[in-house]
Amino acid sequence: MRMRPTLSWTPDASLPPGTSDPGPVADALSAGGVLVLSGAGLSTESGIPDYRGEGGSLSRHTPMTYQDFTAGAHARRRYWARSHLGWRTFGRARPNAGHRAVTAFARNGLLSGVITQNVDGLHQAAGSDGVVELHGSLDRVVCLSCGDFSPRRELARRLEEANPGFAPAAAALNPDGDADLTDEQVGDFHVVPCTVCGGILKPDVVFFGESVPPRRVTHCRTLVAEATSLLVLGSSLTVMSGLRFVRQAAQAGIPVVIVNRDPTRGDQHALTRVALPLGTTLTTVAERLGILVDAPATA
């Protein structure tokens, strides 16, 4: 029997309340050696919605699972139609103050690394180096048959050629780059195959119901073990792919500080949760530490 992945989590009433004091974030960063674990909430200020916050996409949208994607051509046509349209909007997103602050912290030697659960590439666009993309990146496409990797922009060009004039109005964009379209809007969207072997193409991201590659998990566990503290930014930690690192840190006595407006599944393992907006909070912390955050890039 196929099991559906965990998409939701109900907070326990016994969880400690969040604080409006960003001091714990500043304290952790001032000590250096901080490992950042970021989630979808960090990118909401860039116009990309999160999954579970206020107005989160899970209230109206069930993400594509690996099992559904590989099960049939209809699901893949629906996914690629929606993703092709969403990619155009997704690609226009720009780093926000939170991303730029993380880059500034790293530039000033306060971070030991960055792990992101996001697939939007905004940490790198803000100038962060060595980011571990836990769930992959929408910038790449992989063939499920031969394993060939190719740039997403090349696939976008091929899909445009195969579907001239495809430009329905999407109801909303989702954190995975998937746009909300009806079956009527998807229509007979034409999916293109791998140019190497003719196999099935998939974005190089970890779908719900799919496992993070073991080597990547091992690398992240090493980063956690070597960190002075773990700073979680904008993640509900509902799924185990991120929560396991919080649990690992707590079990090893490594302090965990979470910045997320809503309760998270990792709150019981954290020193505190700062319940404030990320961009403002991280910018305020940078100012306290005398760190200059770059201004937004101009178009």
- Annotated ligand binding at 253? The verdict is no
Do 40 and 50 form a contact (C-beta atoms < 8 A)? yes
- The whole-angstrom separation of Cα 220 and Cα 35 is 10
- Annotated ligand binding at 51? The verdict is yes
- Annotated ligand binding at 130? The verdict is no
- Show the beta-strand stretches assigned E in 1-73: 34-38
Nearest by Cα to 32 from 225, 217, 231 = 231
Considering only CA atoms, give the Rg of the chain.
19
- Annotated ligand binding at 83? The verdict is no
Catalytic site includes residue 84: no
- Annotated ligand binding at 286? The verdict is no
- Annotated ligand binding at 119? The verdict is yes
SS (H, E, C) 236-298: CCCCHHHHHHHHHHHHCCCCEEEECCCCCCCHHHCCEEECCCHHHHHHHHHHHCCCCCCCCCC
201-205/136-143 β-pairing: antiparallel
- Annotated ligand binding at 117? The verdict is yes
- Annotated ligand binding at 86? The verdict is no
61, 84, 135, 269: which is the annotated catalytic residue? 135
- Annotated ligand binding at 57? The verdict is yes
- Annotated ligand binding at 220? The verdict is no
How many C-alpha atoms does 81 have within 13 Å on its Cβ side? 25
- Annotated ligand binding at 40? The verdict is yes
Q: Report how far apart, in Å, the C-alpha atoms of 198 and of each of 78, 191, 201 are.
A: 19, 11, 9
- Annotated ligand binding at 120? The verdict is yes
- The whole-angstrom separation of Cα 147 and Cα 46 is 32
- Annotated ligand binding at 121? The verdict is no
Annotated binding site for NAD(+): 39-59, 117-120, 234-236, 278
Active-site residue list: 135
Which residues are documented as binding site for Zn(2+)? 143, 146, 194, 197
Q: Which residues carry a binding-site annotation?
A: 39-59, 117-120, 143, 146, 194, 197, 234-236, 278
